[in-house]
Structure 1
Amino acid sequence: MLSLRTSPASPFGRKVKIAASLLGLSDRIEIVSADTGNPDDSIRQQNPLGKIPALILENGEALYDSRVIVEYLDHLAGGGKIFPPGWDRFAALRQQALADGIMDAALLQVYEGRFRAEDKHEPKWIELQAGKVQRALDYAEAHLSTPVSTLHVGHIALACALGYLDLRMGGKWRDTYPKLVAWLSDFEARVPAFAKTKMPA
């Protein structure tokens, strides 16, 4: 049995869980909660960076980060399931990178509010991260918002990024990006794991 170290709110952990579901591997993975803020949590031994998600293999080895894990799961499922061949693979990886960047920038904004006293918040830093999210959403609205017949890793990542903005940013993006709203509704209707992995706000 594989073990996935993650937390319910992690958008990157959610990406792995949705990928596992689409690949038919969910039954082979045990979800084990990790507390990255706890120095006694074994996640720091499993991943020296102390970050989630980390996938613990049956031989005790750990794989991280989410990009490596989803590729490994695709390999376990026979390969080429959520990573298309040829140029389309690189387009999918690029979309995953864009969506992961949205999640990273959103997380940094959350951490600024969580770990710094309010009078120590740095508006320029928050504005920098918010700008990354806005530009990425502008691009996704224009270029990535048309539903397709076959889903790949980039679609999974984008759905998780939008879901994280719903969770932590109050879904404000929905007022500006109607095509992405429709795209996410289509994704959720086709991928039951998206709703199953949703953390209540």
Structure 2
Amino acid sequence: MSASLTLFFSPTSPYVRKVMVLLHETGQLGMVNLHGVTLTPVNPNADVNEHNPAGKIPALQLADSSVLHDSRVILDYFDHQHGGEPLIPRDGPERWRRLTLASLADAVTDAAILVRYETFLRPEDKRWDDWVLGQCSKIDRALAAFEDAAGELDERFDVAAISAACALGYLDFRMPDLNWRRDCPKLAAWYSTVSQRPSLVATAPVH
């Protein structure tokens, strides 16, 4: 049976990667047709804009042609489609803690992408060093919090761990000189182990 869902996709997007990891972990990859796109804020994609007015990926077109967008929404959708243990706790304090950790990981990714845009896409004479430093400070604060929470990430591979692993993978991919492992040894040890999971190996971005 052919896939009935279409995921607007780029293999280097850390937000798309979160969705792909969950699909691998829950055995749902075969349900999805991958529609590859390349886009930046100054190079939008018409197909994406048609389905997601924000012009961002991932976007997921369902069988009825309706579209979900934002990785957190799509993760929640797919987490309700499998019969295994939920990767997003359904209720209680654990739900809010794991979603908060996932949100912090997304903040790392957001800041890293803004640094990437400022230092790679923006013309050199228009770059704002203080802006980059501000984003790097966000990353540093978030990583310090994850260093304290490394034991929590190790409890289970769920939305928090997926989001943190994808954020750290993006730092290694786009900010290889950051050397975050020096100041976060517990987080580095966790990531060294978790990054060997088949779902993360299969979705690792390549230059």
TM-score by length of 2: 0.90
Instruction: Please show how residues 109-128 of structure 1 align to structure 2 within 5 Å.
Output: 109-128=115-134
Aligned residue for 2:46, secondary structure, equals coil
Shift of 1:30: 1.7
Native 8 Å contact 1:2 1:29 kept in 2: yes
Work out the CA distance in 2 between the residues paired with 1:120 and 1:130: 18
Q: Tell me the amino acid that sits aligned with residue 183 of structure 2.
A: T
Deviation track 1:46-90 (CA, whole Å, cap 9, x = no partner) reads 100000111111111111100000000011114851012411011
* Partner residue, 1:173: 180
Q: Percent identity?
A: 39
Cα distance change on mapping 1:131 and 1:59 into 2, 3 Å:
same
1:70 aligned to 2:75? yes
Is the Cα–Cα contact under 8 Å of residues 153 and 160 in structure 2 kept in the other structure? no
Structure 1 unpaired stretches of 5+: none
Mapping of 1:1-201 within 5 angstroms? Answer: 1-37=4-40, 38-39=43-44, 41-78=46-83, 81-84=86-89, 85-145=91-151, 148-170=154-176, 172-189=179-196, 191-201=197-207
Q: Give the AA of the match of 2:184.
A: Y
Name the CA distance, whole Å, in 2 between partners of 1:162 and 1:36: 22
Q: What TM-score results when the alignment is normalised by the length of structure 1?
A: 0.93
Contact 2:45 2:55 in 1 (8 A): no
8 A Cα contact 1:106 1:130, kept in partner: yes
The structural deviation recorded for 1:104 is 0.2
Whole-angstrom CA distance in 1 between matches of 2:156 and 2:187: 17
Q: Which runs of 5+ in 2 are unaligned?
A: none
Distance, in Å, in 1 between the alignment partners of 2:155 and 2:142 is 23
Q: Compute the displacement of 1:12 (Å).
A: 0.4
- RMSD of aligned Cα (Å): 1.7
- Contact 1:109–1:126 (Cα < 8 Å) also in 2: yes
* Number of residue pairs the alignment of both structures matches: 200
- 1:92-120: CA deviations, max 9, x gaps? 10011000000000000000122211121
The 1:167/1:39 distance shift into structure 2, 3 A limit, reads closer
- CA–CA separation in structure 2 for the residues paired with 1:27 and 1:102: 30
Name the CA shift for 1:83/1:166 in 2 (closer, same or farther; >3 Å): same
Letter in 2 for 1:18: V
